[in-house]
């Protein structure tokens, strides 16, 4: 199974942003600006500095926030630390760049085939081979004489996270017309929100969970449509994840009542959001 690009960050964090993210990862719960500031070593930065960094991280999609007491905002990470660290690995950056290059060139090849330009196709094929072959590996790419009985050895693959998916149950709801990829808003002015906030979501999970003998935290990536319905749910997992809890978290997501949808320019829009489901 390939790396889920949509779960990966599209940019690297600055030093000051990474400091704040490390604090949120370590705290492992919703935290106000003052609580984040208290975790800094002396000399501590100004309150406005930390507030600005949290706002910037929210716009970049690394954190989300909720209101629990009056006008106080409580922030929590949308991206697990191990997922961000994976995106920094050289093999991932190389793979992502190569996928983009190949996709662009293949689209040009399709056009060339349509106009039957054989010479042009051959030149593009050679260009792709040159780009994908790391420098110094030209000799390894040359065919060698081998015994017909020898078995081909597959190259080792990069260990990747596994994403658990579940079939969505049927629900009697109004027809959604904005769940095509082109209509998904990646930067809404207002994120989706569970009606009643995080406390209401925790209460929903405790009342409806089928597994009561284990504890854990499962991160889900949800597609919330323009009416607030959960259209798709996936669990972000690694080798330490309790897969039974992950499946139960997905079931709970599809059983949730409609959310308050994301909004952009005053209208409800479809968007993705990453949330934690906590089994206590």
User: Exposed, middle or buried by CB within 10 Å (0-12, 13-18, 19+), for 264?
Assistant: middle
Torsion angle, CA of 243/244/245/250, rounded to 10 degrees?
Answer: 90
Average pLDDT over residues 19-45: 88
pLDDT band at 77 (very low <50, low <70, confident <90, very high): confident
pLDDT reported for residue 113: 62
pLDDT reported for residue 74: 86
pLDDT digits (tens, 9 = 90+) for 209-268: 998 898 999 999 999 999 999 999 999 988 888 999 999 999 999 999 999 999 999 999
End-to-end CA distance of the chain: give it in Å, rounded: 31
pLDDT band at 59 (very low <50, low <70, confident <90, very high): confident
- In residues, how long is the chain? 280
Q: Are 89 and 82 in contact (CB under 8 A)?
A: no
- Whole-number Cα distances in Å, 31 to 75, 166, 218: 5, 31, 19
Q: 190: number of CA atoms within 13 Å, CB side?
A: 16
Entry pTM: 0.39
Residue 75: Cβ within 10 Å count: 24
């Amino acid at each position: 199974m390939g790396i889920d690009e949509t779960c990966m960050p599209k940019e690297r964090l600055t030093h000051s942003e990474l400091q704040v993210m490390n604090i949120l990862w370590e705290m492992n719960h919703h935290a106000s600006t003052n609580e984040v500031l208290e975790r800094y070593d002396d000399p501590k930065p100004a309150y406005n500095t930390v507030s600005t960094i949290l706002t910037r991280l929210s716009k970049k999609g690394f954190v989300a926030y909720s209101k629990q007491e009056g006008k106080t905002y409580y922030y929590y990470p949308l991206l697990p630390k191990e997922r961000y660290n994976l995106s920094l690995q050289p093999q991932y950056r190389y793979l992502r760049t190569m996928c983009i290059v190949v996709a662009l060139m293949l689209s040009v090849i399709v056009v060339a085939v349509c106009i039957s330009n054989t010479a042009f196709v051959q030149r593009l094929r050679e260009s792709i081979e040159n780009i994908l072959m790391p420098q110094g590996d030209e000799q390894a790419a040359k065919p060698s004489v081998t015994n017909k009985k020898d078995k081909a050895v597959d190259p080792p693959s990069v260990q990747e996270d596994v994403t658990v998916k579940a079939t969505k149950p049927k629900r009697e709801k109004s027809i959604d017309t904005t769940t095509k990829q082109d209509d998904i808003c990646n930067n809404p002015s207002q994120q989706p929100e569970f009606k009643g906030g995080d406390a209401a979501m925790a209460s929903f999970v405790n009342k409806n969970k089928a597994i009561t003998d284990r504890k854990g935290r499962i991160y889900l990536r949800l597609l919330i449509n323009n009416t607030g319905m959960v259209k798709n749910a996936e669990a972000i997992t690694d080798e330490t994840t309790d897969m039974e809890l992950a499946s139960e978290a997905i079931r709970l997501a599809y059983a949730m009542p409609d959310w308050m949808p994301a909004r952009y320019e005053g209208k409800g829009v479809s968007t993705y959001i990453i949330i934690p489901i906590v089994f206590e």
